[in-house]
Structure 1
Amino acid sequence: MKYLTLILIALILIQIPSIEKTDVPFIYQLQKIDIKKIYDLYTPKFLVIDVFEILNNEDKIYLQKLRKNGTIVLAYISIGEAEDYRYYWKDIWWKDPPNWLGKENENWKGNYKVKYWYKEWKEIVFQTINKIISKTEVDGLYLDIIDAFEYWAQNGYDIEFTAHEMINFVKEIKNRYKLLIVPQNGESILNFDTDSSYLNSIDGIGIEDLFFYKSKKLKHTQERLKYILKIKKEGKFVLVTDYIFPSKVIDEFITLCETYGFYGYPANKNKLLKDLSFGLKYLKKK
């Protein structure tokens, strides 16, 4: 009877299909993150997540398993905009904002441009990074809204000032934390990086909307590549997120990323980064 039971169990196990994990270059998800699902299905080289969306110990366990398997985990943080759904937001700011808080982003409700050179905002960012580190181990920080330097240059400030203040802020973060530093977008700030201190402070760069948006080929690609390839030439990695799934350009996007040596993520067109892109299945071909 004992041996018969073992045989039956073995037969059942044989019939259960095993889940084949897929090696993928890059996954970028900020909402409704299911770390176990990512772990079960994929082995990404890079994973960018909002650590504050991780709500339980099981997710933390699987996140560390991913890291042990070689995934480089980067924690998302916006350093150029304040978000009214974060712990630091004060209700009074809607009626009586502090001097460093600017207008709401027309494209992203609840996000407000900040004068990032103010000490008060910098302290909020440092506190947020400390909370990230205390919540779970990560390999680096993914710094969003670097291009706020361009926004303020268009709204009453000298671009030399706004660029140098952003460069100095990124340098401060690098000096405070022994983590990988990966800014997102704002690559033209290299025009103001006269001593290469910005370039020396970053370990890679994240780029959105480089080759395609939805199914449309973008016209600014070559202009942006001038800066991006300069960064890559210095041994930095490049993470590219184009919002193209579903569309017919995924294969071309993957080929372009491979040609340039970039790590690409064919994200969903909605730009919300709240679910895994089914475009990842196309990476199996490569």
Structure 2
Amino acid sequence: MTNDFVSKIALTTIFFVLLFPIFLSLFATDVPQDWILYTNGPKLEELMLVKADLVVIDYSADGTDKKAFKKEDITPLQSRGKKVFSYLNFAVAENWRFYWNSLNKAIVLGALDNWPGEYYVKYWYSEWYDVVKEYMKRISSAGFNGVALDWINIYQHTKLQKLSGKNAEALKNAMVENLRKLTNDFPKFEYALVNGEDILLEFPDLRERAKYVIVESLFFSKGQLVTNTEEFVRRVNKLTQLMKNGITILSVEYIDNGNPFDSTNAERIKTYVSLARKYGFKYYIARVDMKLNVVNIPRISK
């Protein structure tokens, strides 16, 4: 292969790379997002460019304490009219967090299936609540508006029930007790509960502090619409009831494959946006890989 041929290939590649954004703008259009869920490696400068007025990110640029965000990092986003929530794994331990090495391993129960580095814990023990409080102090010092608490529904896991020797009811009551303590200890925060609709319906006092529910994969499962299922009807009825009680529903679906010219992908996105608007939910169209490591602004063909 001659140097001249290689040079032509390189120049052609550069030409197409430079022209592709122009080509894309002519034949594809952005789908604006209502909110943003960006928990893995968030780059705050990317969030400055989006119009969404609520964003959920990690408290740290890489999940570690070393790169935890400071108030001067969060304030510019807020000055653009955005509420900034920090993600917090409320009932599961993560082995890359600041607390892991000093965590009393006697309260660690076992690995969480399909989530490497994450572990069931005895979240009803004071040692775990102390970890959460320390985490919240970091979030507070960085000036976040609120906190998105994950794994609120973990009491439903049969594996946790077996490992702990507790039934779902006892585990649920322990979850509620911790939520009440946290919202009382940190009353200035706004709270979003990830998949926490059952808790908010059963315990209305928590609705005074937790004004958001983040709901995952309500309309789709593995890219297929599931609105004709009993599970969908049951769940959407709960969510609409919460809306009547002043709760904002933040919906996320993992349905975008990133191909702006895939008609099936475009139809899936349009269907989701239409359904979210029908029910009055705020929507976020996430990538199918579920990594949440980009600010995803889908593009679909015009």
User: Above 0.5 in TM-score?
Assistant: yes
| 2:262 equivalent to 1:252 | no
Between the two proteins, what is the percent identity of the paired residues? Answer: 24
SS of equivalent residue, structure 1 residue 90: helix
Structure 2 gaps, min length 5: 1-21, 23-29, 258-264
Q: Distance in 1 between matches of 2:121 and 2:196?
A: 16
Segments ≥4 residues shifted beyond 4 Å = 59-62
Q: In structure 2, how many angstroms separate the alpha carbons of the residues matched to 1:45 and 1:221?
A: 28
- Three-state SS of the structure 2 residue aligned to 1:70 is coil
SS in 1 for 2:36: strand
**1:159 to 2:168 alignment:** yes
TM-score by length of 1: 0.81
- 1:249 is paired with a residue whose SS is helix
| Counterpart residue type for residue 75 of structure 2 | Q
> 2:256 touches 2:285 (CA, 8 Å); kept in 1?
yes
Unaligned runs of 5+ in 1: 1-16
The separation in 1 between residues aligned to 2:236 and 2:249, in whole angstroms, is: 11
The one-letter code matched in structure 2 to 1:211 is F
Match of 1:127 in 2: 134
SS at match of 1:25: coil
CA–CA distance in structure 2, aligned partners of residues 189 and 92 of structure 1:
27
- SS of equivalent to 2:55: strand
The alignment status of 1:29 with 2:38, answered yes or no, reads yes
In the alignment, which residue of structure 1 is the partner of 2:193? 183
Q: 1:217 aligns with which of 225, 243, 246?
A: 225
How large is the Cα RMSD of the aligned pairs?
2.6
Residue 58 of structure 2 is aligned with which of 35, 39, 50? 50
- CA spacing shift, 1:127–1:249, aligned 2, 3 Å: same
Q: Match of 2:205? A: 197
Native 8 Å contact 1:163 1:192 kept in 2: no
How far off its partner does 1:22 sit?
8.8
Q: Which has the higher contact order (CA 8 A, sep 6+)?
A: 2
Residues of 2 paired with 1:192 and 1:118: CA distance?
23
Aligned counterpart, 1:14: none
Match of 1:7 in 2: none
SS of equivalent residue, structure 1 residue 103: strand
Structure 1 pair 192–75 and aligned structure 2 pair: CA distance change class (3 A): same
Displacement of 1:190 in angstroms is 4.6
Q: What is the CA distance between 1:250 and its match in structure 2?
A: 0.6
Query: What number of residue pairs does the alignment pair up?
Result: 255
* Counterpart among 239, 242, 261 of residue 280 in structure 2: 261
CA contact (8 A) 1:180 1:202 kept: yes
2:114 pairs with 1:107: yes
